[in-house]
Structure 1
């Protein structure tokens, strides 16, 4: 469910010759509950606005309950998107989200190795595993079974590995086989704590490994957390790119700049001949990036050492820093730092 769907629905209803969409000050979706704050152009319109809002949103998917609040003030003319109250994580200069439209494209592998590459370039870096239902960072960093603790100020102390400060729901579960069965509100409360109730210290970059897709987690984080930008991970397959378009549109709709696209599993290099084989196709990611006006930050080849190192808790940037894959991540990290330094 996109913010655009809500705004389009509200645009069809009018109060005092003004579309409801132009009266919106803020929107927040928590689970299936939508909270909307309207600017009240004049008194005695509250009930009419409330009634027409509920009526307009009846056909919008995933919205089961609507809470309406008001603040006094004239409508913001030509408002195209709601204004969100985004909080900055204390001590963190830049927060970047690593996302994908679908699972299975190696997003977490990219997030871990990108964070390590940023650290190798001298940036004080943290890594937050926001994939609550499928945390993989503990395995990839060789921290399975490790636990975090809370200090005297009720702040969570993240673990450190390879120079990274890192946090994951996996550090709080009894075992890696324990499922997380949470609804949206509980999920968002946990993620909020992972960001704002953690002793991150002073960081140049905090890398946020998002779950795949464009659901509640992505939308609510985008609305409530101050991010410097997002990075989209995809493979060259059409099925992956179709979902990446949705993720890209979501970030743009909520006003988060997309720093660029990383093409993962771009090709395979035969160890005997050195010839490149484009197993999933060639040129499709470039076409996609050009169509959306995005930069390709880099292409990551397929290498069995990547999967092997992830399973052993030795990411390739750390285990084989001179490999082609590690050098590709370092090149991407340089471009990311250049983009962040411009902001």
Structure 2
């Protein structure tokens, strides 16, 4: 009689080229069903757009068909689900139906980041995946120009953002791609506003847009490493970041700052796309390195980040994106980005579930560990300007300043790395990293 073990043994020679292990030991093969010679099972991918999923399917089908007694093989390709916090005290984001959220960043303006963000998103959408793209640059939004869309009242193509009954923004759809940009709301008027207002608008676009079910949501980040970047990394959990640069020294310096920022807030770097890497005339095989060479390699050597693609100067990439432009460089960049994302998903940045009561806050980690910190100790170790002198480092907040029954009123996860806590004494400006909470928990356990 045909058994599940036989099925698994027939599949253990299929190796994931990125993870360097077979799909059986990786746990990809699930839900094996055998009925009168008909075999069905799932292969759970690390990301829906895995570029080698068809290769997996064909190899698996061929291997199982060779087994004695097998009449038919049915394979369903699925994908890992994102880890979610299960504590009901935590805010539930409207992004819960979104698979992966990928930031595309450059830190230096003018390197083609927005253009590449749009091409990457559009390429994935053309493959049948559900994709969204947010333009997070409030001061210089690009999507209206890239897709030839303008707000009502201008002399270009008219577009108007609608809202639903809950006053949530409904994204614009173009060629199967969902789009949202402050430029759709502002039109040609300049955005003249201070930082706190900008961050409020960013949060509104992120959390007040009805994205529905998406496989991927790309965020076209503004240049720099300022308030907007921190707001995004603290508001939502990013699956990873793609860094866009040119080989020019100035671009590389700013990119290095961006990489350090993402590492600090625990956002995985998927890799670097080197844009305008070189120029090559149609009639020649010679590459002209207009902005220098080896720039991406320098980043790889310094930070260990992978080079996802080296894209030459291509006039066709500057055309309006009324429809997808089939381009092998863009297709390869998407493939490599998805492979990097799949690898990161498998390694998965470990994030705890959070629980609290009138005495303690507990981090429950996937490996079964529980790290417990008293509300009093955590409140005492607040690191904000009201608790610590930012110039001298002297602690302002004293134990006697904290009420005995201190408890959290509201706990909000901040990206991949921290919690924001609103306490019942009115304090709400502190950010408590998982690293800090773990450190305090270890100190307490060693004392007791």
What TM-score results when the alignment is normalised by the length of structure 1? 0.69
SS in 2 for 1:277: coil
Which residue matches 1:167? 180
Residue in 2 that maps onto 1:119: 125
Tell me which stretches of 4 or more aligned residues in structure 1 moved more than 4 Å.
84-88
Contact 2:161-2:184 within 8 A present in 1 as well: yes
Counterparts of 1:26-45 in structure 2, within 5 Å, are none
- Residues 298-325 of structure 1, C-alpha deviation per residue, up to 9 Å, x if partnerless? 0111012222x03xx446xx13x1xxxx
Indicate which of 125, 143, 153 corresponds to 2:149: 143
Tell me which protein shows more helix as a share of its residues: 1
Per the TM alignment, residue 195 of structure 1 is displaced from its structure 2 partner at its CA by 1.3
Indicate the residue corresponding to 1:256 in structure 2: 267
Shift of residue 333 of structure 1?
1.1
Deviations 1:51-95 (A, max 9, x none): xxxxxxxxxxxxxxxxxxxxxxxxxxxxxxxxx999572311110
Deviation at 1:224, TM superposition (A): 2.1
Which residue number corresponds to residue 134 of structure 2?
A: 128
1 CA distance for matches of 2:235 and 2:192? Answer: 23
SS in 2 for 1:272: coil
* Equivalent residue number for residue 103 of structure 1: 109
**Change over 3 Å in CA distance of 1:298–1:222 after alignment to 2:** same
Residues 157-306 of structure 1 mapped to structure 2, 5 A cutoff: 157-173=170-186, 175-176=187-188, 178-306=189-317
- Match of 1:233, SS state, is strand
Which residue is 1:12 aligned to? none
1:176-221 per-residue CA deviation (whole Å, 9 max, x = no partner) reads 2x10011111111111111111110100100000100111101121
Q: Between the two structures, name the one with larger relative contact order (CA 8 Å, sep ≥ 6).
A: 1
Any stretches of 5+ residues in structure 1 without a counterpart?
1-83
User: For residues 341 and 294 of structure 2, what CA distance do their matches in structure 1 show?
Assistant: 27
Higher Rg of the two aligned structures: 2
Alpha-carbon RMSD across the aligned residues, in angstroms, is 1.8
In 2, are the aligned partners of 1:86 and 1:223 still within 8 Å (CA)?
A: no
**What aligned pairs does 1:11-90 form with structure 2 within 5 A after superposition?**
89-90=95-96
Mapped partners of 2:185, 2:277: distance in 1: 35
Pairwise CA distance, 1:153:
2.1
TM-score by length of 2: 0.53
Q: Distance in 2 between matches of 1:123 and 1:289?
A: 30
**Any gaps of 5 or more consecutive residues in structure 2?**
1-89, 152-158, 346-448
Would you say the 8 A contact 1:151–1:157 is kept in 2? yes
Q: Deviations over 1:9-36 (max 9, x none)?
A: xxxxxxxxxxxxxxxxxxxxxxxxxxxx
Q: Aligned partners of 2:314, 2:338: CA distance in 1, in Å? A: 25
Aligned counterparts of 2:300 and 2:124: Cα–Cα separation in 1 = 23
Preserved CA contact (<8 Å) 1:155 1:197: yes
Deviation, structure 1 residue 121: 3.0
Question: What residue is the counterpart of 1:154 in the other structure?
Answer: 167
What SS class does the counterpart of residue 116 from structure 2 fall into?
helix
2:278–2:312 Cα contact (<8 Å) kept: yes
SS of the aligned residue for 2:282 comes to coil
Q: 1:293 to 1:86 in 2, by over 3 A?
A: farther
Structure-2 change in CA distance of 1:158 and 1:250 (3 Å)? same
